A = this chain, B = another copy of it.
Amino acid sequence: MMSSYNRVLVRIQDLTPEKADQLVWVRARIHTSRAKGKQCFLVLRHQQFNVQALVAVGDRASKQMVKFAANINKESIVDVEGVVRKVDQKIESCTQQDVELHIEKIFVISLAEPRLPLQLEDAVRPDGAGDEEGRATVNQDTRLDNRVIDLRTTTSQAVFRLQSGICHLFRDTLIKKGFVEIQTPKIISAASEGGANVFTVSYFKTSAYLAQSPQLYKQMCICADFEKVFCIGPVFRAEDSNTHRHLTEFVGLDIEMAFNYHYHEVVDQIADTMVQIFKGLRDNFTTEIETVNKQYPSEPFKFLEPTLRLEYKEGVAMLREAGIEMGDEEDLSTPNEKLLGRLVKEKYDTDFYILDKYPLAVRPFYTMPDPSNAKYSNSYDMFMRGEEILSGAQRIHDPDLLTERAIHHNIDLEKIKAYIDSFRYGAPPHAGGGIGLERVTMLYLGLHNVRQTSMFPRDPKRLTP
């Protein structure tokens, strides 16, 4: 007898008509189960794929076995042996529509408890569809409280596989461009960016802070001649904001780069990196995008090559033309940001663009002023579907100018001494930016809450699971 250790398991996605009449072993979850007389119909699920299966009283299965199969709790993991059979009529409710599995043996690998905190069918039902037909949907807190189950839905599987793809495309593109990956510390001794919104950590007999961004460290790497660096890591913001797009801990995709003559060299590299991500997702994640769209319909994400770059004052002019009153040096409010996104989409047919040359007054002290117009700065944001996903700038690399700007912003020089000192031993001109991974995932897929694209989101009210 063959030992089970040598058994070959066939994946559900590979159960196709080519396997017809073959006897196969499959490991899967019981997605649904319905007994009907001498038969039991199961839907077996593995990740994004499912197949219909049948246990029927006959040569290969006893009455007891049918009863046993019918009584296995949903979400249990089973090993089944069965024959793949072509079906006459497509099974619309399954991903494997042309075959079903006629089960001859069934073993429980891991038994689920009988009462599930949420039903997977409910969790993938489009919003609204529930109410109309009297069927349930699952609210966000129930999902997040029971994330282990919610993450099993086809939608969640697709969202987080695509998110893994974003990270991979980001790094792959940058490594091809000659960037070096760095690792920056998250526990820091001083709240470098002013001190507001920072989490405090007790550190042995003293206290420390959680880094609000890797910026200082990225810049130190530039001063240390790494020239082009990137990092992916957690970023912490102690902001008491309970919005659809704020988290207290999120994943930052960060870039910093020395340039030769103009900060647009950096802007172009970042924009091209985003374009490579968009292309990679479009070309390699079709299944995932379609899966998410079934539950959350959205328009395909549009982008231009090269990326559209508008100056801030052009954006302000477009808003004014649309009836918005705002000053030249006023920051964009969230509604105006979204409106501008719609105006840009109408005019240029793109969901991704760069807004360049922000007013100096609305940017942090380390932002390089525009040398040709002191009211503006060499800084930029990037937007997807009208929401900011990246904020960046040329950084001041001259310690005297940096000191002057810090004083202008009433920043305590003592607290940023180490930062300023980093530039005292020769510093190349450089620029960079930070991208929020969860926002990019959310906006690419046209979702509406960043908690849908964070596996285990953290906000002022949520610390679990």
Q: How large is the interface on A (under 10, 10 to 19, 20 to 34, 35 or more residues)?
A: 35 or more
Contact B183 A148 (CB under 8 A): no
Question: Is residue A164 within 8 Å, beta carbon to beta carbon, of the partner chain?
Answer: yes
> Within the assembled complex, what's the spacing in Å between the Cα atoms of A107 and B189?
37
**Residue in chain B with minimal CB distance to A220:** B148
Contact B5 A261 (CB under 8 A): yes
Find chain B residues with CB under 8 A from A202 CB.
Answer: 199-200
Question: Is residue A225 within 8 Å, beta carbon to beta carbon, of the partner chain?
Answer: yes
Contact A151 B5 (CB under 8 A): no
Q: How many copies does the complex hold?
A: 2
User: Could you tell me the distance in whole angstroms from the C-beta of A291 to the nearest C-beta in chain B?
Assistant: 14
Q: Indicate the member of A184, A225, A455 with the most B CB atoms within 10 Å.
A: A225
Stretch of A59-67, A294-302, A424-432 with 4 or more beta carbons under 8 angstroms from chain B: A424-432
User: Could you tell me the distance in whole angstroms from the C-beta of A267 to the nearest C-beta in chain B?
Assistant: 14
User: Could you tell me the distance in whole angstroms from the C-beta of A250 to the nearest C-beta in chain B?
Assistant: 9
User: Could you tell me the distance in whole angstroms from the C-beta of A456 to the nearest C-beta in chain B?
Assistant: 5
Find chain B residues with CB under 8 A from A342 CB.
Answer: none
Contact B112 A425 (CB under 8 A): yes
Q: Told that A190-B464, A422-B465 touch, could you supply 17 new A-B pairs with CB distance under 8 A?
A: A5-B262, A29-B426, A47-B225, A76-B426, A111-B426, A112-B426, A151-B225, A151-B226, A152-B225, A160-B226, A185-B234, A185-B458, A186-B186, A199-B202, A203-B463, A204-B240, A220-B456
Instruction: Please give the residue numbers on chain A whose beta carbons come within 8 Å of chain B beta carbons, in ascending order.
Output: 4-5, 7, 9, 27, 29, 46-47, 75-77, 109-113, 116, 147-152, 156-157, 160-161, 163-164, 167-168, 171, 175, 180-190, 199-204, 206, 208, 210, 217, 220-221, 223-227, 232-234, 236, 238, 240, 248-249, 251, 260-262, 397-398, 418, 422, 424-429, 437, 454-458, 460, 463-465
